[in-house]
Amino acid sequence: MTDYNFYAIIVAGGSGSRMNSDIPKQFLELNGKPILMHSIDAFYTNENKPSIILVLAKADYDLWNALVAKHKFKTPHQVVNGGTERFHSVKNGLGLINKENSIIAIHDGVRPLVSQQTISNCFKNALINGNAIAAAPVKDSVRMLQNSKSTALKRCEIYLVQTPQTFNYNQLKTAYQQNFDSFFTDDASVVEKAGFSINLEKGDEFNFKITFKEDLILAEAIINSKINT
């Protein structure tokens, strides 16, 4: 894998609306430092040593710089402007990469508990198969509601998609030449519409997206339990 360049595009354009927070949720503190810093450090400490590109709303630059100074955050990263939709934000981050022999992981800035094994496996399998999407099988029964009628689905066929979503450069570059479509809810949907098959990689139980206050409390408890074991 040494002949390849590795990158991580960390997308952090969310708001704090569902947290009832005055600042975007990625900047809220988790165990003494902003959630986003945990996410960045998870990739920086990975064995593949990816170069890190942080996608931020321009309006958040001053706040981020203040937090970097406050927490003496030294992890190297490039910052690029976010876009109207996630699609545009990722496309902006991808614009900083021009090496074809590259493997690129795209990760939500508010998934701070992603494991090193998941990151490494996604890089490895994207190198072999072209892409690798972290996902976890559902544990609960699942039903689909259409026209006011619910139908049971086969639980063994349903997966919850996580990040990182990891791709070789050529797949991403080709996919992001498409025009934006409201169907694009994640990077895998963009790449799939460009004609590529999507490969699932085993995610991990704690790799959840911090969205509500309860998620932040749970993440804090998980970190503390690891510290105390």
Q: Which residue did the predictor score with more confidence, 1 or 145?
A: 145
Tens digits of residue pLDDT in 7-64: 999 999 754 444 556 789 999 999 999 999 999 999 999 999 999 999 999 999 999 9
Cα pseudo-dihedral 219, 33, 75, 14, rounded to 10 = 70
Task: Note the pLDDT of residue 148.
Answer: 93
With bands split at pLDDT 50, 70 and 90, how would you rate the model's confidence at 144?
very high
pLDDT of residue 3: 87
pLDDT at 17: 47
Q: What's the pLDDT score for residue 61?
A: 96
pLDDT digits (tens, 9 = 90+) for 76-132: 999 999 999 999 999 999 999 999 999 999 999 999 999 999 999 999 999 999 999
Residue 229 is predicted with a pLDDT of: 60
Mean pLDDT computed over 151-155 = 93
Inter-axis angle of helices 116-129 and 35-44, nearest 10: 50
pLDDT of residue 76: 98
Give me the pLDDT at residue 23, please: 86
CATH class name, domain 5-227: alpha beta
Task: Encode pLDDT of 175-207 as tens digits.
Answer: 999 999 999 999 999 999 999 999 999 999 999
Domain boundaries, the chain: 5-227
Model pLDDT, residue 13 = 76
* pTM listed for this prediction: 0.94
194 phi/psi in degrees, rounded to 5 = -80, -5
